[in-house]
A and B are shown apart, each in its own frame.
Chain A
């Protein structure tokens, strides 16, 4: 009997101490890109994309006018990044093997200017060229980032076991054949 109790305690301690994968955070930003004589430093959230944005759009300054970060706990969250006139509504509609299925809506005040559905990959940012604004350009940027271990999140809100099992099985079969 004491042996069983010790074994149970060890298993419990191991389970409790096992770090779980990082909880992803989706960062979404409204960016005004324009060419100015003395460009300001690029916001830290866009540092990794600076050269890509410059190459793509040809502007030398990228200013954040609205942003939002959202930790995806269930993969079903929605959130809003706002500026004074624009709103970027992101509706996550579930996790898949490569990332998250999302629905994006760009609002100009109360009007929907642009709507898109995408599979947002964990390793590939999404950049959307919006309307011309003055001499600049509105850009929408979405990036999936990793957060600190989501131990508490996973305990309180377990993943869908059927879906998780399906992906696990699929991955195992995929590994066998490749």
Chain B
């Protein structure tokens, strides 16, 4: 079942015939106005066909040749531009930059953060760096180092054993 619009379009294109044509024209309220509209539409169609007809290329091969050349030229420019932009970042330079950055990181880490453990401990405890006794006078002497924090005091103790004993006179002020 065709809609009115389909029948109208077919009527404008003179595609209706016979009984269908009669019935459609009978259904139109103003046949004269419709025929005038049909006439205008046909006139417009003829005008458009005349004006917008297909333009054929007379130099098709030359046109294609020019397009291909332009594409090739653009591609070459892209490649050369890309090459110019990345020329400074050569592989050796990248390697050197990476090595330099790593070295800076390591230096920073060791210089500024490396001694943290020892220093944090030093904030609380005295550290004995080295100790020695006179080996001639104290051949059996030995030295121990420990920390005592039994009370509130955190005391570093240097404990000697085997030092030469002295008479009580040496306790004089």
Contacts and interface: CB of A to CB of B under 8 A. Distances in A.
B150 interface: yes
Contacts of B171: 32, 34, 63, 65, 133-134, 136, 138
Interface of B is mostly: mixed
Contacts of A173: 108, 112-113
B173 interface: yes
Interface of A is mostly: strand
Contacts of A131: 160, 163-166
A124 interface: yes
A142 B137 CA distance: 25
Interface string B131-173: 1111001100000000010110111111110011111111111
A56 B132 contact: no
Interface stretch (B22-30, B32-40, B121-129): B121-129
Contacts of A136: 168, 171
B151 A134 contact: no
B130 A113 contact: no
Interface of B: 108, 111-113, 116, 119, 122-134, 137-138, 148, 150-151, 153-160, 163-173
Interface of A: 32, 34, 48-49, 51-52, 55-56, 63, 65-66, 83-86, 96-99, 101, 108, 111-121, 123-136, 138, 142, 169-170, 173-174, 177-178
